[in-house]
Amino acid sequence: MTIQPWRATCIQMPSVLATKAETPDAARAIIKANVAKAIELIDLACGGDNPPRVVVLPEFGLQGPPHGLTIDRWLDLAVCSVPGWISAPLQDAARRHGIYIGFNQFESDPQWPGRYFNSCALIDPRGEVILRYRRINTAAWPSPHDVMDQYLDHHGIDGTFPVVDTELGRIGMIACGEIAVPEVARCLMAQGAEIILHPTNEDNTPSQEAAKIARAAENMVYLISANVADGIGFSADGSVKGGRSRIIDFRGRTLAYREGSEPGVDVTAEIDVEALRQARRDTGMGNTLLRGRWEIYRPLLGNLAVYPPNSFAQRPMADISETAGPVQIGLDTLYGSGIVVPPDA
């Protein structure tokens, strides 16, 4: 079946931090207001003559990050399951508009008590959550890597790096700074991803902007990167601004971009999956996937190990300060392998 070009839109929305609340009820009110703002902008995006089929919300757009809160405190204050009460209004909006909505949420799961995950999820036009990716490389928060063996036993590699096949193409998701981790996008490409949705919440840094272009071009995927409006989540006073939502094609070309940090839905572009598929079938030098010589890297990369997996398999992390031990093990491993030169060398 031929896929006709379709439109994607970044929902560059402001976000009030749930950490400003002292009680779960107050935090819930903040989160509900954030969700309502997201839906207001989704309604705006879908109200024109050429509405999107896919919209993407920022990372931390609904709750903000936990800052220095303990794991239990953040779980109690602002976290719920996916799907759950946070996603329910977005699911209704997806049904109402007949669109896909990509969003990011701190998520709890009864299967993993005492832990939360920084999760990206995709809602389909029926209002069903059809994809959930839990961030591997986190800002010192719980990760599937912390319980890697158990996680893979439960979810498998397909559930760890999920890609969903839709009538618009094959879609995966990456959160924020993981765009600078080449292996994550590579794994999604290896699962067949053609479009990567990228909820992000970031300051303006050359490395992040370069990584977006590089991941799109080297994996021959469309990248739809939605950043937060106004202050970023790690800026408690809102003085560090977001903005710079961007849509990039499979050659690394920017199709839409908004430099400013004001709320808006004007970062929108046409996604031509058939053009991508034709480029992936081409036998010329421009086909980076066809020309990949993956096998020769395995002797060096296949057994590379730095940050220790299963570091919190026996009991959940209680506070981010507990990552100091695994971090030191990782640094010592880098010293021992010769990747990093120790200070006394």
Q: What is the pLDDT of residues 263-283, one digit of tens each?
A: 999 999 999 999 999 999 999
Q: Is 338 left (phi over 0), alpha (psi -120 to 50) or beta?
A: left
Identify the DSSP state of 12: B
User: Which value, to the nearest 10 degrees, does the dihedral of the CA atoms of residues 132, 185, 266, 202 take?
Assistant: 90
Taking 80 as the threshold, does the pLDDT of residue 65 lie above it? Answer: yes
Both structure tokens of 14: 């402001």
Taking 90 as the threshold, does the pLDDT of residue 236 lie above it? Answer: no
Cβ atoms of 31 and 291 within 8 Å: the answer is: no
Taking 80 as the threshold, does the pLDDT of residue 75 lie above it? Answer: yes
Mean pLDDT of the chain: 97
Tens of pLDDT, residues 165-209: 999 999 999 999 999 999 999 999 999 999 999 999 999 999 999
Nearest to 216 by CA among 189, 245, 177, 256: 189
Average pLDDT over residues 80-90: 99
Average pLDDT over residues 327-334: 97
DSSP β-bridge partners for residue 254: 248
Give pLDDT, residue 72: 98
Average pLDDT over residues 207-225: 98
Cβ atoms of 11 and 56 within 8 Å: the answer is: yes
Cα separation, 208 vs 232, in Å, equals 14
DSSP β-bridge partners for residue 132: 121
C-alpha Rg value of the chain to the nearest Å: 20
User: Which value, to the nearest 10 degrees, does the dihedral of the CA atoms of residues 158, 163, 164, 170 take?
Assistant: -140
The DSSP annotation for 246-273 comes to EEE-TTS-EEEE--S-S-BS--EEEE-H
In the block, tokens 């990050």 appear at 65
Domains along the sequence of the chain with CATH: 6-292 (3.60.110.10), 304-345 (no CATH)
Taking 80 as the threshold, does the pLDDT of residue 139 lie above it? Answer: no
Both structure tokens of 173: 């998701």
Average pLDDT over residues 37-53: 97
Average pLDDT over residues 82-90: 99
Taking 90 as the threshold, does the pLDDT of residue 345 lie above it? Answer: no
Average pLDDT over residues 57-78: 97
CA angle 79, 182, 309 (to 5 degrees): 60
Give pLDDT, residue 173: 99
Give pLDDT, residue 140: 81
Cβ atoms of 265 and 45 within 8 Å: the answer is: yes
Strand duo 100-108 + 54-56: pairing: parallel
Longest dimension (CA), the chain: 65
pLDDT grade, residue 331 (50/70/90)? very high
Cα separation, 323 vs 317, in Å, equals 8
Q: Could you tell me which residues come within 8 angstroms of residue 38 by beta carbon, excluding any fewer than 6 positions away? A: 11, 13, 57, 61, 62, 90, 103
Taking 90 as the threshold, does the pLDDT of residue 146 lie above it? Answer: yes
| Helices assigned H by DSSP within the chain | 24-45, 71-78, 88-97, 148-160, 182-190, 206-219, 273-281, 298-301, 324-337
Both structure tokens of 303: 């057994």
pLDDT grade, residue 134 (50/70/90)? very high
Give pLDDT, residue 46: 98
Identify the DSSP state of 297: G
Average pLDDT over residues 130-138: 98
Average pLDDT over residues 223-230: 98
